[in-house]
Amino acid sequence: MPCMVPVEVVTVTGTQSRTDQRGRCDVVVVGGGVAGLSGALVLARARRSVLVVDAGRPRNAPAAHSQGFLTRDGTSPGELLGLGRAEVRGYGAEVRAGRAASAQPLPGGGFAVRLGDGETVRTRRLLVTTGVVDELPDVPGIRERWGRDVIHCPYCHGWEVRDQAVAVLGSGALGVHQALLFGQWTEHVTLFLHNAPEPTDEQWDQLSARGVTVVEGEVAGLVVTDDRLTGVRLASGQVLAAQAVVVGPRVVAGDGVLASLGLYAVEHPMGVGTHVPAGPAGLTAVPGVWVAGNVTDPIAGIVASAAAGSAAAAAINGDLIAEDTARAVAERATAPVGRAEPARQSTGLRARAVAGGGPVTPRDAGHRHGPHDHDRDTAAGDSNVVSPRPYSDQEQARCSTVPGAPAGDVVVNEARPRTVTDDQGGERTVHDAVLTARRRAGS
């Protein structure tokens, strides 16, 4: 089954954890299933401060195993999430249980997220992965057997019921579709129309061609013997053998915290229930708010949900980088006159750290140019440095004195202009590369 919403509060701390000048964390993730934890993992590895709020109610908790997750096939849902939390902790996360009640935009950007215990957390971005709740058919025995021998996804449980007698309960528009799907795993499929719409002529032909038995009449309940499903009882009293029952629950998106921001769930195009619309990477109509997993894609399995969480996290990190860069540019533009500019390094020459001792030659500086390349570089627009001509003995001697600088200094190449006269008497400016030692920034 796809995964839903756990919420433990996963706070990334240590060297990755930092807040901005306003005391905000980078990202609050609401929901700690595979989508939320995958997003938190990516963000923590990107050195973002992250808070994952998880109510601890995963959608697939009733299932004994999670299937189809590469390297974790057959792992229980609880164990899978435990492994995920441990991985997030490995990057400096603190985990505690909690619930996100609401969120409100903050003046100047970001959000204030109110937790169930009354605490308010300020965050720059919000990733909501609260999943869905399954509304099961109102048939006695369905809820009690849900996640065991009452199932809904062939890719989650089809292998486990292969070659068994499978009853499909037609409680919605997808009953025929499910009956045809499960025919890939077993030849013994019976579609109970129950209260589903009458199949179209085309669907009758499809069901007949695939060997699906169709039973009309309302289903009254399930028959369980020694804690094993053995049959389906009709309202008429007739019992037909079945070892597994397939249902099509209506899903309801967990949009509580989203609704507080004006983001409401709408009907899904496939008619399976509700979801919160979003773009390809999960960005919603509210800037700064992303969604991932079943809350926006209710038919996604755990692998797709995990991938969606990772994709959303990468998008969020990129968005934060863009914001940080724009702020840095604006701050530099308004910096007081005389503020030191960052050192610029030529594309033609690179700096070399001095560990102490040993002469430094011009070639040690890492020239990428050949002799007499200065005209080509000037034409290419490299205004900082024009590649040097062959070094003279005097220049070699001057360079060799640089290693006397204290250990930890940086040897850099500086471009020094001089005017030269060519054979025709014309003057032009060339730049010589000169090695000098400077203290490292902050040392």
pLDDT at residue 267 is higher than 70: yes
Angle between helices 34-45 and 302-333 (to 10 degrees): 40
Residues 6+ apart with CB under 8 A from 350: 365, 366, 413
Give the separation between CA 432 and CA 435, rounded to whole angstroms: 10
Q: Report the pLDDT value the prediction gives residue 183, as an integer from 0 to 100.
A: 98
pLDDT tens digit string along 19-34? 566 668 999 999 999 9
Q: How long is the chain?
A: 443
62/343: higher pLDDT: 62
> pLDDT for 125-184, tens place per residue?
999 999 999 999 999 999 999 999 999 999 999 999 999 999 999 987 789 999 999 999
* Model pLDDT, residue 365: 37
| Range with top average pLDDT, 54-68, 93-107, 271-285, 325-339 | 271-285
- pTM here is 0.73
What is each CA distance from 264 to 114, 254, 294, 442, in whole angstroms? 18, 10, 14, 50
Pairwise pLDDT comparison (398 vs 244), residue with the higher score: 244
